[in-house]
C-alpha cells in the first residue's frame, strides 16, 4: 500500500502543504490503517460515516488514549478535506476530550543533578530546554543562523503550529554552542571536500537560493556524526542528531540520579516556565517565550505553583522586610 497511487497522492498533498516529515509519517499510518480496516479498493468507496465507527473502534476495542484518538481524527480529517475534497459533518461530537494533566516540574537541584550526568552535546541540548524553553525538535533543528550571541537570543523557526518566535539564550550555553558550531564547520568542510556539502532547507529554498544550501550558516548546530539519505529527496547529506539519541542519553542520566519522577526533555521546558513564574515574570511574557497561541495553555503552570489564575504576586509581598 505504501507504493499505491492513492498513498502517493496523500503524501504529495501533505508535502504540498509543507507538513513536517513526522506529521507525514503519522498521517499516512492512520490513513493506511483506516483503509485496511474497511478493505477499501478505491477512494470512491470511502464513506464519512465510517470515520465515526473507526474512532469508536479505536476507543472501545483498542482502548487508545484520547490524544492518540485525536491524532487519528486529524489524519482522517486531512484525508477527507484535502485529498478526497469532501467535508466531514457532525464529527466533532465523537472526538475524545483530553484530560488536562498538571505538568511534572523539577526543582533547581534536580535539574542541575540530571544535567551534570549528561555528556556533550546532550548536556547543552537539555540546558536549552531548561534555560530557553525549547521543545526537543526545536533544539535539534537549530541552525547556526538562529543564534544571536550579541543579543543573547535564539530565533525559533517554524516551531509548533509553524510559528516563529524569539527566546532567551542562556549565558551558560554560549561557550559550548561556539564549540558545537566549530565542530559543524569542520564537518561542513569535510562534506564539501567529499562532494556532499548541501543541507536540507524548508519551503524549496534550495531551488530558489541554490548557493544557500551549501552555506555554513544554514547548517544544523547539533549535526549528526554520519551523513544519511534524506527520506524525501533521497539525497545524501548531513542532518541533525536523531531525537532518539537525545532521549536515550536523558534516560540514562535520570536513572543515575534515581529521581522518582517521569522525566523527558519536555519536563525541562515545563520547569523553565514554572521557574519564571516563581521569579515574578508575568504570564504574557512567558506565553511569548514558550510560543503558546492561547494564554490558557500557559496558565496551567500557575496551578503547579498553587497561585491565583494569573500567578499574581501581591504588592504586599513585594515590601522589603
**Do 73 and 18 have their domain in common?**
yes
Written as tens digits, the pLDDT of the chain (321 aa) is 557 899 999 999 998 888 888 899 999 999 999 999 999 988 888 988 889 889 888 888 888 888 899 899 999 999 999 999 988 876 655 566 666 778 899 999 999 999 999 999 999 999 999 999 999 999 999 999 999 999 999 999 888 878 899 999 999 999 999 999 999 999 999 999 999 988 888 766 766 777 788 889 999 999 999 999 988 888 899 999 999 999 999 999 999 998 999 999 999 999 999 999 988 899 999 999 999 988 888 888 887 776 555 555 566 665 555
The answer, as to whether pTM is greater than 0.85, is no
**Residue for grid cell 537570543:** 153
**Residue for grid cell 556539502:** 197
Mode of pairing for the β-strands spanning 236-237 and 228-229: antiparallel
pLDDT tens per residue, range 73-118: 999 999 999 999 988 876 655 566 666 778 899 999 999 999 999 9
Give me the CATH number covering residue 18.
1.10.150.130
Last residue of a domain, one of 94, 112, 139: 94
**Do 119 and 244 have their domain in common?**
yes
Cα 58 to Cα 296: distance, rounded to the nearest angstrom:
29
Closest CA to 104 of 259, 256, 289, 304: 304
**Do 16 and 123 have their domain in common?**
no
Enclosing domain of residue 175: 101-321
**Do 192 and 287 have their domain in common?**
yes
Q: Which residues are catalytic?
A: 135, 160, 266, 269, 292, 301
φ, ψ of residue 58 to 5 degrees: the values are -65, -40
**Do 167 and 122 have their domain in common?**
yes
**Do 287 and 308 have their domain in common?**
yes
pLDDT tens per residue, range 22-49: 899 999 999 999 999 999 988 888 988 8
Give me the CATH number covering residue 187.
1.10.443.10
When divided into structural domains, the chain yields a total of 2
Last residue of a domain, one of 70, 94, 118: 94
Cα 112 to Cα 126: distance, rounded to the nearest angstrom:
10
Last residue of a domain, one of 94, 121, 143: 94
**Do 87 and 129 have their domain in common?**
no
H-helix segments, 41-91: 49-60, 66-78
**Do 105 and 171 have their domain in common?**
yes
Neighbours of 282 (CB within 10 A): 13
Amino acid at each position: 500500500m505504501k507504493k499505491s497511487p492513492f498513498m502517493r497522492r496523500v503524501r504529495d498533498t501533505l508535502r504540498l502543504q509543507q507538513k513536517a516529515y513526522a506529521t507525514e509519517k503519522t498521517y499516512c499510518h492512520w490513513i493506511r490503517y483506516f483503509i485496511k480496516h474497511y478493505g477499501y479498493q478505491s477512494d470512491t468507496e470511502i464513506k464519512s460515516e465510517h470515520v465515526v465507527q473507526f474512532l469508536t473502534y479505536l476507543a472501545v476495542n483498542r482502548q487508545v488514549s484520547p490524544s492518540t484518538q485525536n491524532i487519528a481524527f486529524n489524519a482522517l480529517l486531512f484525508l477527507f478535506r484535502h485529498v478526497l475534497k469532501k467535508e466531514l459533518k457532525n464529527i466533532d461530537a465523537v472526538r475524545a476530550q483530553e484530560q488536562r494533566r498538571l505538568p511534572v516540574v523539577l526543582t533547581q537541584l534536580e535539574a542541575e543533578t540530571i544535567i551534570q550526568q549528561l555528556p556533550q552535546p546532550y548536556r547543552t541540548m537539555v540546558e536549552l530546554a531548561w534555560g530557553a524553553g525549547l521543545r526537543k525538535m526545536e533544539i535539534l533543528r537549530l541552525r547556526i543562523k538562529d543564534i544571536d550571541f550579541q543579543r543573547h537570543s535564539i530565533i525559533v523557526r517554524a516551531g509548533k503550529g509553524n510559528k516563529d518566535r524569539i527566546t532567551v539564550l542562556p549565558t551558560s550555553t554560549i561557550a559550548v554552542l561556539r564549540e558545537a558550531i566549530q565542530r559543524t564547520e569542520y564537518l561542513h568542510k569535510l562534506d564539501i571536500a567529499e562532494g556532499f556539502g548541501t543541507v536540507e532547507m524548508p519551503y524549496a529554498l534550495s531551488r530558489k537560493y541554490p548557493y544557500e544550501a551549501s552555506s555554513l550558516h544554514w547548517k544544523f548546530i547539533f549535526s549528526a556524526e554520519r551523513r544519511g539519505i534524506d527520506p524525501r529527496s533521497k539525497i545524501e547529506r548531513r542532518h541533525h542528531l536523531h531525537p532518539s539519541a537525545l532521549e536515550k542519553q536523558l534516560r540514562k542520566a535520570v536513572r543515575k540520579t534515581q529521581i522518582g519522577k517521569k522525566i523527558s526533555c519536555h519536563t525541562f521546558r515545563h520547569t523553565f516556565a514554572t521557574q519564571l513564574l516563581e521569579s515574578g515574570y508575568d504570564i504574557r511574557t512567558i506565553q511569548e517565550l514558550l510560543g503558546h497561541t492561547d494564554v490558557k495553555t500557559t496558565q496551567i503552570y500557575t496551578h503547579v505553583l498553587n497561585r491565583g489564575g494569573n500567578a499574581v504576586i501581591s504588592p504586599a509581598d513585594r515590601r522589603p522586610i
